[in-house]
Structure 1
């Protein structure tokens, strides 16, 4: 076996030699980069050593110069006192000066003959030869080293026993009153003091500091370090610099020097290159190790790639032999090994699945898995073929692009000479088109084509299945109805309605669990079937979550608005109820929620049967009321000038009193009329009655002003309202300045050609247009630009907060300011108190409507009201209206 492996490896190296060429090229490049990096790092470390020594020398020079300047100042002061003090006092003076000058070893005073007269260390008189750094004003002095300042600088001074001490003499001439040289003050400076100044710094760098003095061509060492001609020659060329010394196998030394600017002194720092290169050597070792490891890894990877490429090449040779035999087969065919890895495919397979050969080679057929079959299904399939039996059946596979493929597949095991299974051959026949046609027909029969949700038929069948089950189980049904959907559908068009339905579907799908069945029953009605462990509190939480989710803003054509929903819940068990009863209960609960203000939910209770019966009764009675012309009546609520209190008009309101004497609230029957479509007939009755009454007032010359009427969005979207109003005004001879049409904010969002055309024609006819209940709808300010309105009506919900709610007051003020900036007048509804009136006056509101002045009045009552208030000012009303 080892021999076969060696033969395979050798053959692979010959066939895939380009792998080695690339590998060697990459390695050479990496090693070249490493070498370049190390050289640059070495040079950078050496440059940093030079820079660091230069900085230290500059600081040391500054300290030395300052010390010499201090000594010079001290000697100058002493020279002025020598002639005037006694010798014993002078000795004390010198010792005191030495005590305060740590850089000095001694201070001596010698006469003009060179005899020591006074010393800070001894009083012995002896001959001294000296060579000074001080200037003696032309007097010739002997040039030689001072023989020896005696004793040490301090007790225990290590230099006390040396002869001579290393020191630097600094002299100051002493002159008598006639200016003649009478003596010399000699200060012996300690070079080791200056070295010690930077001992802590140079110690960290493992460096050594030296101080030299040079006179002419001679370089004199004032430390243990010996001088050299080479250093002197460098100083003569340049006052500062550095050079390196290498001796034998020892590590190189960097010598940096600097000549002081005012004194013949040279300061040097010697630092080892080994110290400066410690960080670089560490980096060099780490990079070298990393490069060796990387080289080994690259070689291993190259070897693996070479082996894999060789195996792939041999496998492809085998596959070409197999593919030649069945390439022309009409059905899709693929062959796998025993483990299920695809070994070969024909062209028909590639066309069917959309894959390329390299994408499926050595892949498991699970890449075609659509996820529509269980693990148990595939376990039975593999058990059968591994037992040596063929398998035939229908599979749903997945195309490369993601869509499903339905195939009839036959899998046959292939055995080797020993009877062991080596491969499997799978043959596919595409039956997708036929199956999709069958499934589409079944799907459409049970699902809504717009939203893709189960339809009423499917939903009701699932409920009946629950009740037909022998096992008793709790369940609940939720009926969801979108509020004002018909209004949006009529005003903005069916496209907007469809978008709203699909958006609502997406929102509900996000929050409902998989075991909940969501269905669209038709129109704007949805339903949810809840089974399993349910409770009243859990249903309440789910219902509120649905209401909040549906109420999230809906965006359509750059407009954003909210649509609420009403939700009814019926709960029970399959033993206590039947399917039809439970559906009816959920429906009644939903209507109760809608009746009680919408945007809420209600559970079914027995009283809802009465509510449903009342709804049906009211619908029947409303149809009769419109036809009989006896139960419906009109009321007129006056609108007065905020400043004068004079009547400027009225809003016409519809009232309904049944034959039995029951008054039905407009909030109850107007919504019912819109939902059932009776709103058209009700609106037509209102306009006929209103125009007839206005004509009667005009004949009496009653100055009633401008009468405003609310127009339903449904009416604007379904008939030519402008033409109808024009016909009525002509028939009853009503001038345009006596009619005002009020529309809600929702109507402004209408994306309907008929709505836009109606609004345009109404304005062209000269009718006054008002935006009713401003601030309570869903429109944006952009809609105010789309209609040339004459005034805004502030809703009562904001007016009642005046004096009690600062937010409502700010909203009212902002609305009035906005209206005036758009050159619109403002009418405030629901004004019930003098405080509200005063606030609105100050805010600039022009017209007031509310119980403070009058409740809605009958025609006769309104006539009397106008006569009492406006009889004397009737001639001014047209100007007010304009």
Structure 2
């Protein structure tokens, strides 16, 4: 080839070198080119070999059919083998299980049959100790010595720490850190899945709430409380272990259980009863044997009967009813009760707007002196709601709802303000003939820390002496551990307000000396009054006489409420009751009707 090119060059005009010289030059050129090419190839080979052998990731090179021909030390170290133990095996055999092996086989096929240049994934590779190790792998093909030949190469980086961290974070994101149960987020996701359009069969949702858990936390400390919660979680998992149930912690001491399949209410109730019995067994933390009880709300229904919000709301309502019924028990959701409750809760939600829009009015129940029924001793002020759809609603229908919605204080303030304003008007108009106004304190108002300031402000605003006001409380308010009821009542009595206590028996009456209450009036109510409605049974009369005797010993003025007839009023008078209210006078009276009663008494006094 060199002579041929030399002859050509020699035959060209202007070239003075002989062909032999040109041939020598070309030979020199060729030798130099080859030497440089070989040097470059050797350098590239050394670089590749160094990179291959010292790479911090595992590398396996295979022949075109996927049989491993070379393995670096890092891959051998990663898989727990000496490199020569891996040579001769197929790349697809490096997978830990069938799924991983199939992924490798699919990747090799895609590299051979498509134009993709690499395949990346996270799979498990087989370790020498028969365990799986997580690896981030890249499969690609490198050109071989002969044109058109491609050799598969597997590169694997240790992903165990990353995988473990990701799994830890994933677990933490869907599990409760204290109990290890599923958390509220995961529970909601699986509940949504259980109620998907393709779901069939029945579903049961159980909400459980520990009763009085705050006592454990406050009395024994948060550490013991946490240990109790872990114990409760363990018991719940065991109680529902045979039914493929999902148990979750939704809140501080709130748990939930989700069951799916062919279910009936009796089956689910039996499981819940067993769980509640197990929870009642003491949990021993150190030397403390801590007993807990739980209330449960249960919903069992077909998966197609509503969505997630519907079943969650039903479980919450059932749980609320269980707690209202006395705790430590379960309640099954009842659609009919739910319909009634919805109407009640709607009523409770409307109280604030009704108060602002003037739908409430004052009503009174006159208390008369039994020795002279025409003379009003006091009027008990109360509220009536003129509902635009439901008509007139008495206090017992909305005050319990006001407690739930936080409207008791605003209603109580309005009652106090308006009744003292009416009292001021009566005193200005009728003078000494004007009756005292008696306000029965709702429990939430009785424990209000600002009660004294609230009452004093209204008395001052209406320029009324405190003696014009009677404040009536019941034993439940006196014994309520919240607030400072006793202190408030003592201060109000010192200001001159007259304190009234409703009593039904001897135990209620003994609260007065026990707590040194400055009570001036007691109002008999309930069975002790009802027993004399149609006659005078000996036992009932004896009980009444004992109460009245004790009340006189305490220098109390004695009244009664719920008196239905003049005959009943007369029987009570003979036993020592001096004043009464009820249907025998009037169930309720408006402000104008009270005016008429006062005027009648005033006219009778003048005439007399």
TM-score by length of 2: 0.54
Q: Does 1:763 align with 2:493?
A: yes
Partner-residue secondary structure (3-state), 1:446: coil
Out of 363, 368, 383, the residue aligned to residue 635 of structure 1 is: 363
Q: How does 1:670-749 map to 2 (within 5 A)?
A: 670-701=399-430, 703-749=433-479
CA distance in 2, matches of 1:461, 1:827: 61
The answer for the alignment partner of 2:584 in structure 1 is 852
Out of 370, 373, 383, the residue aligned to residue 654 of structure 1 is: 383
Q: Does 1:789 align with 2:519?
A: yes
Quote how far apart the aligned CAs of 1:638 are.
Answer: 0.8
Residues 480-523 of structure 1 show CA distances to partners (whole Å, capped at 9, x for unaligned) of 8999x9xxx9xx9x969x99xx9x999x9999882298988669
Q: 8 Å contact 1:477–1:569 — kept in the other structure?
A: yes
Quote how far apart the aligned CAs of 1:622 are.
Answer: 1.8
CA distance in 2, matches of 1:829, 1:846: 12
CA distance in 2, matches of 1:811, 1:576: 56
Out of 560, 564, 568, the residue aligned to residue 828 of structure 1 is: 560
Partner-residue secondary structure (3-state), 1:790: strand
CA distance in 1, matches of 2:259, 2:419: 51
Q: 8 Å contact 1:544–1:601 — kept in the other structure?
A: no
Quote how far apart the aligned CAs of 1:734 are.
Answer: 1.5
Partner-residue secondary structure (3-state), 2:597: helix
CA distance in 2, matches of 1:662, 1:585: 29
Quote how far apart the aligned CAs of 1:738 are.
Answer: 1.6
Larger relative contact order (C-alpha < 8 A, sep ≥ 6)? 2
Q: 8 Å contact 2:512–2:519 — kept in the other structure?
A: no
The answer for the alignment partner of 2:14 in structure 1 is none
CA distance in 2, matches of 1:634, 1:608: 32
CA distance in 2, matches of 1:809, 1:458: 64
Higher alpha-carbon deviation: 746-755 or 692-701: 746-755
* Structure with bigger gyration radius: 1
The answer for the alignment partner of 2:530 in structure 1 is 800
The answer for the alignment partner of 2:302 in structure 1 is 573
The answer for the alignment partner of 1:367 in structure 2 is none
Quote how far apart the aligned CAs of 1:731 are.
Answer: 1.5
Q: How does 1:358-377 map to 2 (within 5 A)?
A: none
CA distance in 1, matches of 2:510, 2:208: 27
The answer for the alignment partner of 2:551 in structure 1 is 819
Partner-residue secondary structure (3-state), 2:367: strand
Quickly say closer, same or farther: Cα 1:681–1:541, change in 2 above 3 A: farther
Q: How does 1:139-538 map to 2 (within 5 A)?
A: 446=176, 460=188, 463-464=191-192, 467=195, 474-477=202-205, 514-515=239-240, 535-536=264-265
Q: 8 Å contact 1:478–1:527 — kept in the other structure?
A: yes
Out of 826, 841, 862, the residue aligned to residue 573 of structure 2 is: 841
Residues 439-463 of structure 1 show CA distances to partners (whole Å, capped at 9, x for unaligned) of 9x959973899xx999865765664
Partner-residue secondary structure (3-state), 2:350: helix
Residues 415-441 of structure 1 show CA distances to partners (whole Å, capped at 9, x for unaligned) of xxxxxxxxxxxxxxxxxxxx9xx99x9
CA distance in 2, matches of 1:661, 1:650: 27
Q: 8 Å contact 2:504–2:526 — kept in the other structure?
A: no
Q: 8 Å contact 1:568–1:604 — kept in the other structure?
A: no
Q: 8 Å contact 1:569–1:603 — kept in the other structure?
A: yes
Quote how far apart the aligned CAs of 1:787 are.
Answer: 2.8
Quickly say closer, same or farther: Cα 1:779–1:701, change in 2 above 3 A: closer
Q: Does 1:669 align with 2:394?
A: no
Q: How does 1:60-71 map to 2 (within 5 A)?
A: none
Quote how far apart the aligned CAs of 1:539 are.
Answer: 6.8
Residues 712-763 of structure 1 show CA distances to partners (whole Å, capped at 9, x for unaligned) of 3323444411112112111212222221112232222233454444223212
CA distance in 2, matches of 1:765, 1:569: 52
Residues 215-266 of structure 1 show CA distances to partners (whole Å, capped at 9, x for unaligned) of xxxxxxxxxxxxxxxxxxxxxxxxxxxxxxxxxxxxxxxxxxxxxxxxxxxx
Quickly say closer, same or farther: Cα 1:623–1:752, change in 2 above 3 A: closer
The answer for the alignment partner of 1:867 in structure 2 is 599
Quote how far apart the aligned CAs of 1:845 are.
Answer: 2.4
Quickly say closer, same or farther: Cα 1:467–1:655, change in 2 above 3 A: same
CA distance in 1, matches of 2:175, 2:513: 42
Quickly say closer, same or farther: Cα 1:818–1:779, change in 2 above 3 A: closer
CA distance in 1, matches of 2:455, 2:320: 34
Q: 8 Å contact 1:569–1:604 — kept in the other structure?
A: no
CA distance in 1, matches of 2:172, 2:541: 60
Q: 8 Å contact 1:592–1:611 — kept in the other structure?
A: no
Q: 8 Å contact 1:745–1:774 — kept in the other structure?
A: no
The answer for the alignment partner of 1:622 in structure 2 is 351
The answer for the alignment partner of 1:751 in structure 2 is 481
Q: 8 Å contact 2:504–2:528 — kept in the other structure?
A: no
Q: 8 Å contact 2:363–2:590 — kept in the other structure?
A: yes
Higher alpha-carbon deviation: 765-774 or 800-809: 800-809
Residues 4-37 of structure 1 show CA distances to partners (whole Å, capped at 9, x for unaligned) of xxxxxxxxxxxxxxxxxxxxxxxxxxxxxxxxxx
Query: What is the root-mean-square deviation in Å for CA atoms of aligned residues?
Result: 5.5
